[in-house]
């Protein structure tokens, strides 16, 4: 990596737009993701989260705007981008006929890496799957299958990982297992862009959160910064900080009414309602 690349955000998106015929999915998206951080892209179904991830991972071309991953342009340098990333989709892409260890070895061989068996064993240890390594993936629980899927995506040590709704369909215990895995990735220096519609997931994991609504980022900040958009509720002289869920609903409702992401107007409206009460 050059000095210029090291100073840049791991991911930079500027004015990205994408339409499918008359359906405008992305309407000028801007965001930046710092290296080694977990960035959550939060939005309802149909907000455009997966479309943006597909553009960033070079699977789809944007209609307008620019985006870079580790300094490489996704439109003009797709090969360099692909060397820098890994993508885990909404559903685990493991081969259920193979064992966990065989799945890992297969990917290592496809990437033409040396010592695929050693790579597989190391990842089984890292993701607490050693005891299940010689079992067929079809016998894995949802959380185990998802952890194996993420482990497979890390073969080759990509510095940037896209996780598109990684806990969809998982039970609460399996979700916690995946959360722990994601935190370990960031602790090891991996940049993680996480899309989710689960508010508690963003609250638990993200260093920064962007709310995507109707194809636009209507707010972007740390959890603490987003909570400051709503005044604390006072109940029996005890201040209650607004939850991320309250912030999300207020911002999305305001954007739907006015078609804009003016945070000051959100704050004023919420404050006025509280005064009326």
Instruction: Note the pLDDT tens digit of each residue in 187-223.
Output: 989 999 999 988 899 999 999 999 999 999 999 999 9
Q: Report the length, in residues, of the chain.
A: 277
Which tokens is 39 given?
Answer: 């960035």
The secondary structure of 33-83 as a DSSP string is: E-TT-EEEEE--TTSSHHHHHHHHTTSS--SEEEEEETTEETTT-HHHHHH
How confident is the model over 20-41, as pLDDT tens digits?
Answer: 999 999 999 999 999 999 999 9
How confident is the model over 245-258, as pLDDT tens digits?
Answer: 888 888 888 777 66
d(CA 63, CA 74): 12
- Give the chain's mean pLDDT: 87
Q: Tell me what pLDDT residue 88 has.
A: 87
Please enumerate in sequence order all residues whose Cβ is within 8 A of that of 81, keeping only pairs 6 or more positions apart, or say none: 56, 57, 58, 69, 70, 72, 73, 74
Write down the residue that tokens 């940049």 correspond to. Answer: 191
Report whether 42 contacts 210 (CB < 8 A): yes
Taken in order of first residue, the domains within the chain and their CATH numbers are 1-94+158-221 (3.40.50.300), 95-139 (no CATH), 222-277 (no CATH)
In this prediction, residues 60-87 reach a mean pLDDT of 96
């Amino acid at each position: 990596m050059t000095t210029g690349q090291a100073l840049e955000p791991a991911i930079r998106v500027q004015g990205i737009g994408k339409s499918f015929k008359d359906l405008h999915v992305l309407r000028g998206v801007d965001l930046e993701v710092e290296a080694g951080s977990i960035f959550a892209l939060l939005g309802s179904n149909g907000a455009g989260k997966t479309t943006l991830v597909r553009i960033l991972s070079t699977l789809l071309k944007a209609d307008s705007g620019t985006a870079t991953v580790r300094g490489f342009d996704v439109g003009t340098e797709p090969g360099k981008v692909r060397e820098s990333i890994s993508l885990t989709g909404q559903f685990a892409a493991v081969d259920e006929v193979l064992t966990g260890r065989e799945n890992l070895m297969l990917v290592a061989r496809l990437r033409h890496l040396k010592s695929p068996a050693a790579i597989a064993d190391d990842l089984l240890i890292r993701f607490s799957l050693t005891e299940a390594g010689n079992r067929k993936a079809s016998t894995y629980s949802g959380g185990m299958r998802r952890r194996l899927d993420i482990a497979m995506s890390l073969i080759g040590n990509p510095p940037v990982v896209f996780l598109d709704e990684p806990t969809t369909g998982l039970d609460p215990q399996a979700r916690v297992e995946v959360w722990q895995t994601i935190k370990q990735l960031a602790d090891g220096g991996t940049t993680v862009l996480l899309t989710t519609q689960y508010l508690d997931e963003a609250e638990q994991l993200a260093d920064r959160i962007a709310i995507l609504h109707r194809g636009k980022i209507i707010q972007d900040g740390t959890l603490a910064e987003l909570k400051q958009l709503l005044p604390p509720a006072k109940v029996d002289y005890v201040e209650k900080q607004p939850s991320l869920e309250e912030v999300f609903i207020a911002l999305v409702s305001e954007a739907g009414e006015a078609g804009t992401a003016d945070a000051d107007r959100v704050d004023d409206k919420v404050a006025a309602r509280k005064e009326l009460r």
